[in-house]
Amino acid sequence: MGQGGERRRPQPRDEELGAAVARAQDGDETAFAVAYRIVQPSLLGYLRGLVGEDAEDVAADAWLEIARDLGRFKGDGAGFRGWTATIARHRALDHLRRRRVRPRAAPLEQDALELPGRLSTHDQALETLSTERALELVRTLPRDQAEAVLLRVVVGLDGSAAARVLGKRPGAVRTAAHRGLKRLARQLGAQGVTDDGTRTLGEST
Q: What secondary structure letter does DSSP report for 153?
A: I
Q: What's residue 144's pLDDT?
A: 87
Query: Which of 79-83, 179-183, 188-192: highest mean pLDDT?
Result: 79-83
How far apart CA 128 and CA 145 sit, in angstroms, is 19
Q: What's residue 49's pLDDT?
A: 82
Q: What's residue 29's pLDDT?
A: 92
DSSP letter string over 35-90? HHHHHHHHHHHHHHHHHGGGHHHHHHHHHHHHHHHGGG--S-HHHHHHHHHHHHHH
Q: Are 131 and 145 in contact (CB under 8 A)?
A: no
Q: What's residue 133's pLDDT?
A: 64
Residue 28 Cα distances to 24, 39, 45, angstroms: 4, 17, 27
How far apart CA 131 and CA 37 sit, in angstroms, is 21
**Average pLDDT over all residues of the chain:** 76
Higher pLDDT, 133 or 69: 69
Reading phi first (left if > 0) and then psi (alpha if -120 to 50, else beta), residue 101 is in beta
Phi/psi for 202 (5° steps) reads: -90, 5
Average pLDDT over residues 36-65: 91
Q: What's residue 33's pLDDT?
A: 95
Q: Are 129 and 137 in contact (CB under 8 A)?
A: yes
Higher pLDDT, 132 or 110: 132
Q: What's residue 12's pLDDT?
A: 63
Residue range 79-129, pLDDT digits in tens: 999 999 999 999 999 998 888 755 555 544 444 444 444 345 455 555 544
Helix (H) or strand (E) holding 152: none
Query: Which of 52-61, 108-117, 189-198: highest mean pLDDT?
Result: 52-61
Residue range 137-177, pLDDT digits in tens: 776 788 888 888 888 888 888 888 999 999 999 999 989 98
